[in-house]
A = this chain, B = another copy of it.
Amino acid sequence: MFRERLQKIVDGVEGGVVGLLMGFDGLPVETYQSPSARVDLQGVALEFSLILGEIRQAAQTLEVGAVREVTIHAEKLTVLMRVLDQGYFLALAIEPDGNFGKGRYLLRMAAPKMTAEL
């Protein structure tokens, strides 16, 4: 179920590479990568959750409320993270020339459905 949802997101975005449903503790609930991708999913998942953890901690220090969404544009990869309830988050990695706006949209659409299923 989760895997199908992740696949729909990744394959539905031009340049989509990896989709992850993760716990804040760094453990992936489900992962999917596009057939052409060769990504170290455990490594990616760990780094993403470390980043999000750091950001959530900073948000707490600065008292700016809960973190909802994080976007990172790097030279070779764009990463979108969307926080779900109950200690989970969605992450989507796309190529830098991929359709970032559509990725963001699909994550937003999927978030409430996947939260309800957790």
Contacts and interface: CB of A to CB of B under 8 A. Distances in A.
A77 B68 CA distance: 10
Nearest to A66: B75
Interface in A58-112: 58-59, 61-77
How many subunits of this chain does the assembly comprise? 2
Interface string A35-76: 000000001100110110011001101111111111111111
A5 B39 CA distance: 41
B69 A73 contact: yes
A55 B68 contact: no
A51 B56 CA distance: 10
Interface of A: 43-44, 47-48, 50-51, 54-55, 58-59, 61-77
27 contacts: A43-B61, A43-B62, A47-B58, A48-B58, A50-B58, A51-B51, A51-B54, A51-B58, A59-B74, A62-B77, A63-B76, A64-B75, A64-B76, A65-B75, A65-B76, A65-B77, A66-B74, A67-B72, A67-B74, A68-B73, A68-B75, A69-B72, A69-B73, A70-B70, A70-B71, A70-B72, A71-B71
